[in-house]
Amino acid sequence: MSSSDSQIINVLRRKYPARGMVDLGNPADTLLATLLSARTRDEQVLKIFPAFRKKFPDFSRLAQADIRQIETSISTIGLYKAKAKAIKGLAQKIVKDYHGRVPKTFEELISLPGVGRKTANCVLSYAFGVPAVAVDTHVFRVVRRLGWSKKSDPEKV
């Protein structure tokens, strides 16, 4: 990360000190809520999340769950079938490869089913305090309009 990147992150942190809506205070909840929030409003995810976590309190329960149970638990949010499949695969990999703990590096996070750059950066930033910016379509558009980047690829932005 360049010094200008760090400066931008510090300015944004001072300007917007509140936690993100899916920053739920621990890596597991933050990872799951962020994954569930893809193409779904955070408010909708937060409505179903407590019951979801009560039913599946840890990754080993999610890894062993029938996919239909996961689907039923998240059926009110968008893309719930694909998200259920990703969550089950993610949980299995976390249990097998990371002893039930959310990995702490970008490379490890994006190796998990359903986790892309944005989710990985959210988890790194929220759960582990790593300076990272999640570039979604909105951030991408604003950064380009402000002239902070002329790049046409979110990864380069």
Supply the pTM of this predicted model.
0.81
Q: Taking a C-beta distance cutoff of 8 angstroms, is the pair 35, 27 a contact?
A: no
pLDDT category at 149 given cuts 50, 70, 90 is: confident
pLDDT category at 146 given cuts 50, 70, 90 is: confident
Beta-sheet strands, E only, within the chain? none
pLDDT tens, position by position, 52-95: 999 999 999 999 999 999 999 999 998 999 999 999 999 999 99
Active site residues: 118, 136
Could you tell me the CA-to-CA distances from 128 to 25, 69, 145, 146 in Å, in that order? 10, 30, 30, 28
Q: Taking a C-beta distance cutoff of 8 angstroms, is the pair 94, 101 a contact?
A: yes
What is the distance between the alpha carbons of residues 78 and 63, in angstroms, rounded to a whole number? 21
